[in-house]
Amino acid sequence: MFLGLGSDTLKLSTRPERWVTAKKCFEEAAGAFAEVRRLLQEDDAQRWREPNKKVNLELQPQALEALIQCMLAYATRCFYEKADEASSKPKLLAQLAVKASHQYRSAAGCMHEAVLAKNGLDGWLSSWQV
């Protein structure tokens, strides 16, 4: 929901405050994904699962972490865009761009780990690493 609100805010608005509104929506989406991850990690939330039942990819802890990092990267990008529109100093813009880049890279790594875990390849690949 918050992800959609953030995206829609950016698409439908040309007002300067759209970046602040979208940033808040993306940060709230990150918080919502973090709460889902927390609930799934609690023992009480695990009771309904069968021990051998596979978990959907999007509910893997690594996938949820990827979604959190992606939402935070979107929020950082909103801050970058707002700073760019305000003609901020190049040093600040570079710092924000680097931060967003690291968050996107982290998200990609987490999603890669989630796919490996879903396919049961995480243990197999780690035994082959040098």
- Count of all residues that appear for the chain in the document: 130
Predicted model pTM: 0.71
Phi first, then psi, for residue 16 (nearest 5°) are -60, -35
Sequence-separated contacts (24+) of 125-130 with Cβ below 8 Å: none
Residue 28 has pLDDT above 60, yes or no: yes
Least confident stretch, 30-44, 53-67, 82-96, 116-130: 116-130
Between 79 and 51, the more confident residue is 79
Structure-token match 């991850």, residue found: 37
Q: Is the dihedral of CA 115, 67, 69, 14 positive or negative?
A: positive
Q: Contact at 8 Å (CB) between 35 and 59?
A: no
Q: Which amino acid is at 7?
A: S
107-122: pLDDT as tens digits: 888 888 878 877 765 5
Q: Do the Cβ atoms of 66 and 114 come closer than 8 Å? A: yes
